[in-house]
Amino acid sequence: MQKDDSASYDPNDAERNQPLTSAGDRPFDVDDDAADNFIPDAPKARELQEFYFETCVVTYRMFHRQTVEGWMEMFLRERQERKPLGQLLGNSRTAILLTIMAIATLRSKKVRREAYTEDEPFILQHSDRLFCAGMKLVDMEVGFPRLESAQARLIQVLYLLQTARMNKGWYRFGNVFHITLSLGMHRRWDQKRDFPFTSRRQNYITSECYKRTFWSAYIIDKYLSVVFGRPRLYQDEDIDQDFPERVNDEDMTPDRTKASDDADCHIDALIFHAKIARIIGKISREVYSVNDLSNQDRLAAANRLGRELHEWRAGLPPHLGTVKPSTLVPSFRRQAVALQLAYSHALIHANRPFLMSEAASENANECISATKASLELVNRMAGDTTLFHSFWWTHYVIFCALAVVYVWEIQRTTRSSGETYDADQIFDLAEECRGHLRRASTGLSQNQRYSVILDELRSEAQRCRTPHLQGSNLQGGEANDNSDFGFSFMQDPEMLCADAALQDGVMLDSFLFSDWQTLDSSAFFPLADPNSVSPTCFPAIP
């Protein structure tokens, strides 16, 4: 950490002294009392439920809306009769409703630009109380797991990620993973053998929600893997579950579907997000493999998976691909933007390891093109709060894109003068998006850490943008003021800008493939305990 930089992130004792599964996260500011006056009245509860399904849900469509609305009416009757929480509905279903209201409460404030201002503690306290009540119910659940057991914990993961409690979210997701496997949700229903056994007596809605919930969890798993730089939990070779059928909630019945016009289906986004998440998992496994693979093998994998990404993009239905998002209704616009952002990120993820290789100039160009596209998209999203706050991984994508811009700028001296991109334009675009990230960083610990790390990279990039500083600053003492993050490219900044050290192959050998994932996950390294030996930061394991 920079000791004299006001933008530095210095965790307080409350963040350090959390339970192990929450260490580093913002604590919950919730009074542990028996009063339940924080639960909204009936009109407000219905309003929050509607806001959740109309605005908050983008691609993670794990619920059947009409079923949840039925639960809400039972919940409100329970409240009217002053019965204990969960008595009529059960713990998991009640927890789902409480978390839906928590997410809707938080998101509605963000959309109205009320969150992350001086009122932030009050706003979070309200949504946190709803969430913590639901979490307590889930922790008290007894008996064998059911579909709602997985759904309750998965929607809690989404709340934790949206409030930047990333560590708690990661551990909670492990619970989701185990429940989905215990229910056989990763397996296709074999009617002849009635497997998995939990498929017995399922109606059509329940069967489809099994698929929706599993694939939502699958997507989150792949993104948690790249954000944290940790192994994926779901392994593709163990999965044969079908994608959900293309049918909207209002067209579903317990027996089957109603006749409907499925030209534009909300489930398309879930299906295509799951498909690109599968490709992202392959990129992590093959391009960033911890095995001793040659650069040529990694490059071949990146090219093959890049073609898969292009095919995925070409296969999108018009309302998610070719139609201009601004012309779509809000729900489809959010889905289209989410998939565009996922596509740009996936291309960055596949090609950034070759950013500094003259032998892979096409990959470098594709990486920069995708980076520019993602920054332009984020810049447009920043003007629409219903978009900017719709995806919990937006800030991570901004971080990835900015890191690519700065590293690309640092090593520009090795590129030929005939480059196809306007470096100044991209750098200026990066500055705008850096401002969006910094403004969204209040109270979000990992965003503050992202900003500190990006400040270091940006500082190096600015030095390399100014020719006269390449000699004076880097050869003098100023370069020694930089923090040591443990990355090979930060150990010797002089190597980055000095022509003599940038001969063909030197940088590629010194900047390991795993360094990119280490950079991604650096905001989540365990913080050093001042009373013990500092932990060693190992490279990320894909």
Per residue in 167-212, pLDDT (tens digit) is 999 999 999 999 999 999 999 876 555 566 555 557 899 999 999 9
Cis peptide upstream of residue 27 (ω within 30 degrees of 0): no
- The answer to whether 492 and 475 are in contact (CB under 8 A) is no
Name the residue among 481, 391, 380, 362 with its Cα closest to residue 436.
Answer: 380
Which of the 8 DSSP states describes residue 327? G
pLDDT for 504:
36
pLDDT of residue 473: 44
Taking the model in full, what pTM does it have? 0.86
Residue 13: the pLDDT is: 65
pLDDT of 511? 62
Pairwise CA distance, residues 79 & 44, whole Å: 13
Residue 446 · residue 464 · CB < 8 Å: no
Classified as helix, coil or strand, 291 is coil
Spatial distance between the Cα atoms of 45 and 460, rounded to a whole number of angstroms:
50
Where do we find the tokens 């949504």?
127
The number of helix segments (H) and strand segments (E) in the chain equals 21, 0
Whether 515 and 487 have beta carbons less than 8 Å apart is answered as: yes
**Contact yes or no for 375/430 (Cβ under 8 A):** yes
Cα–Cα distance measured from residue 426 to residue 498, given in angstroms and rounded to the nearest whole number: 23
- Report the alpha-carbon distance of residue 103 to residue 373 in Å, rounded: 29
The residue with tokens 């795993």 is 514
pLDDT beneath 70, residues of the chain: 1-15, 31-36, 113-121, 190-201, 257-262, 413-420, 441-445, 466-512, 526-542
Long-range contacts from 231-239, C-beta under 8 angstroms, 24+ separation: 231/541, 231/542, 232/281, 232/284, 232/285, 233/173, 233/174, 233/177, 234/177, 234/186, 236/278, 236/281, 236/282, 238/186, 239/186, 239/187
From the number of C-beta atoms within 10 Å of its C-beta (0-12, 13-18, 19+), residue 174 rates as middle
Reading the block at residue 447, the tokens are 């965003």
Could you tell me which of 49, 59, 44 has the C-alpha nearest to residue 316?
A: 59
Given a contact cutoff of 8 angstroms between Cβ atoms, the answer to whether 128 and 29 are in contact is: yes
Helices 513-521 and 204-228: crossing angle in degrees, nearest 10, is 110
